[in-house]
Amino acid sequence: MNRLKRIYTLLIFAIGVSASCYAQSPVTATGQIFAEIIPVFTASETAQLNFGRFSPGPQGGEIILTPQSSVMLVGSIYKGSGLTTAASFYVTGEDNATYSISLPSSPVILTNTTNARTMQLINWVSEPQAGVATGSLLNGYQTVFVGATLKVGTLYDNPVGLYTGTFIVTFEFN
């Protein structure tokens, strides 16, 4: 039994020595790290939405202003002098990035600055069109043009004066 114990001990020692002969030294590797800062996604108004000067007739009507700044009169509206312009927004960010455009979904109110009478803006349109990933920042920028339809009442409903309001266009980086 003593002999068996000695053989067993020698066998364990031989296995340990053998295993230590094959033990590998630690190996290290260097990993690379990257971080890139891209341009900030921004949008700013460069031209205001301006329906110009006009007079409502006996039935009122609508002024349709396209994103290309062309105007169509519907009903009894008489166009006066002065410029009409679509709104424009300068959008910037990472080169070739896409973004989504959201226009007002409910009417926007313009209010007469002297007597609080109102008109509504409806049917918002833009170029490029509103929607998911419809805008693209070629060379890191794009101009978005926005138009709408102004509902005009009679001269009684919409007396002479300046009508103002604000609207929100949302640009979401994709």
pLDDT of residue 21: 53
**Which residues of the chain carry a pLDDT beneath 50?**
none
3 in a domain, yes or no?
Answer: no
pLDDT the model gives residue 67: 98
Domain count, the chain: 1
Distance of CA 132 to the CA centre of its chain: 9
Q: What is the pLDDT of residue 165?
A: 97
Query: How does pLDDT run across 20-52, given as a tens digit for each residue?
Result: 555 688 999 999 999 988 788 999 999 999 999
Q: Name, in order, each residue with C-beta under 8 angstroms of 74's C-beta and a sequence gap of 6 or more.
A: 61, 62, 63, 64
| pLDDT of the residue at 61 | 97
pTM: 0.80
d(CA 164, CA 118): 9
Answer whether residue 162 is part of any domain.
Answer: yes
pLDDT at position 84:
95
What pLDDT is stored for residue 1 in this prediction?
Answer: 56
Q: What is the DSSP letter of 68?
A: T
- Domain contains 26: no
Is 9 part of any domain? no
Q: Which domain holds residue 164?
A: 43-173
